[in-house]
Amino acid sequence: MQTHRYKPSASTKRIGIFGGTFDPVHLGHVGSAEALLEQQGLDELYFMPCQRHPHDKRPMANSEQRLAMLTLALQKQSSLKVDDRELSRLGKSFTVDSLTEIRQEIGEQTTLIFLLGSDAFAQLHRWDRWQTIFSLANVAVIERANTLSIEAIKIAELRQRVNQAVDFIDAPYGQITIASLSPYPVSSTLLREQLSQSLSPSTLLTEFMSPQVLDYIHQQKLYR
């Protein structure tokens, strides 16, 4: 498997990390990442696929296939890259472990932003050592269509963080921003359902997936 681990240069000051299963990657991921890259003035944004989801969500595509799909989906945007560290680590993929490693690699002063959708953020208090994430990185929450709105989150610890949100992150870690983007009404689950049902591409598939990723899925006979 190809390694895409990064080596930030001296000019890299603002890095984004987008963790997920990416089974498969879709426009909701890539479009949101591009918008965040722009809004937060990031130098680079790394998609970090997990090996094994801490909450036991097992991917249908294997690590190599998910990595191949990410590489195809991101090939046209040079600032969007892949960090495959979780795929080569055994056991559950805890975000806090990856961010600890990344922080050691980039040093104290580089701004690190961890991206996640509002559905994932609403569950953040269940993540392993979740509070430590804020001492390693900033957090950018992307509002997702058809899920609980960030404003409706009741968990006090998360509410408190949301109330402290800033528009533009200007610290190496510890801040939170709620990205105001037009939400993409798509999920990998929805796409897998479509792919399992039809052989001819549906509007949903062509609208929300890169043609190269779609070709790869057909070629590998994935999600049938």
Strand order in 44-49's β-sheet? Answer: 80-82, 44-49, 14-20, 111-117, 138-142, 176-179
**Judged by CB under 6 A, which stretch of 21-29, 70-78, 93-101, 123-131 contacts ligand ATP?**
21-29
**Judged by CB under 6 A, which stretch of 101-109, 132-140, 178-186, 216-224 contacts ligand ATP?**
178-186
What are all long-range contacts of 116-119, with beta carbons under 8 Å and residues at least 24 apart?
Answer: 116/18, 116/19, 116/140, 116/141, 116/142, 117/28, 117/32, 117/141, 117/142, 117/143, 117/144, 117/147, 118/142, 118/143, 118/144, 118/147, 118/148, 118/149, 118/150, 119/144, 119/147, 119/148
Instruction: Confirm or reject binding of residue 223 to ligand ATP (CB under 6 A).
Output: no
Residue with Cβ nearer ligand ATP (20 or 172): 20
Instruction: Confirm or reject binding of residue 116 to ligand ATP (CB under 6 A).
Output: yes
Among the listed residues 4, 14, 16, 20, the single contact to ligand ATP using CB under 6 A = 20
Give the interface size with ligand ATP as a residue count (CB under 6 A): 19
Q: Scanning residues 23 to 62, which ones bind ligand ATP (CB under 6 A)?
A: 23, 28-29, 32
Among the listed residues 67, 69, 133, 186, the single contact to ligand ATP using CB under 6 A = 186
- 57-73 residues labelled b (16+ CB within 10 A) or e (exposed): eebbbebebbbbbbbbb
Residue with Cβ nearer ligand ATP (29 or 85): 29
Binding interface with ligand ATP (CB under 6 A) = 20-23, 28-29, 32, 116-117, 119-120, 142, 144, 183-184, 186-189
